[in-house]
């Protein structure tokens, strides 16, 4: 497993072999690392609202880009893929509502949820488009 020095937690195995999407996914890894750092410094609760705002902004931009590319190339599973994006957006919105309550355990739950999403969606569902898009020149 080759780990890059630039992005904490990022490995080549996480790559979807589409540079644009890999760069966007690396940004998510950086966000996760930022939350982990804040939590290790005892600032998870204080950073939660700003963190979730940044995650929501990232998600909107990334999902829009991914969905536009899938539409342009007529990716056959784009609707199912987009449904997963809507579910993730709803989860982030729910977390943003909860952040206002000041729940000290929220940062742990958010971190766990994000890591699980990366594992299931980024390293699972997203890899479904790798071969399809690579075959059409998108690398």
CB contact at 8 A, 69 and 138:
yes
- Measured CA to CA, the distance from residue 65 to residue 16 in angstroms comes to 15
pTM (predicted TM-score): 0.87
Per-residue pLDDT of the chain (139 residues; tens, 9 = 90+): 344 457 888 988 889 999 999 999 999 999 999 999 999 998 888 888 899 999 999 999 999 999 999 999 999 999 999 999 999 999 999 999 998 887 878 889 999 999 999 888 888 899 999 999 999 998 9
CATH architecture of 48-139: Up-down Bundle (1.20)
Every domain of the chain and the residues it spans: 48-139
pLDDT at 118: 87
Task: Look up residue 6 and give its two tokens.
Answer: 């630039």
- Nearest C-alpha neighbor of 4 from the set 21, 29, 24: 29
pLDDT given for residue 5 in this prediction: 52
């Amino acid at each position: 497993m080759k780990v890059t020095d630039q992005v904490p937690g990022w490995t080549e195995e996480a790559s979807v072999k589409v540079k644009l999407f890999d760069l966007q996914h690396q940004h998510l890894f950086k966000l996760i690392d930022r939350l982990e750092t804040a939590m290790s410094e005892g600032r998870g609760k204080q950073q939660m609202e700003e963190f979730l705002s940044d995650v929501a902004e990232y998600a909107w931009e990334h999902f829009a880009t991914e969905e536009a590319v899938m539409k342009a190339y007529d990716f056959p599973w784009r609707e199912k893929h987009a449904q997963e994006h809507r579910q993730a957006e709803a989860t982030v919105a729910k977390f943003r509502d909860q952040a206002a309550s000041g729940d000290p355990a929220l940062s742990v739950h958010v971190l766990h949820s994000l890591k699980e999403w990366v594992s299931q969606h980024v390293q699972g569902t997203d890899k479904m488009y790798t071969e399809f898009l690579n075959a059409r020149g998108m690398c």
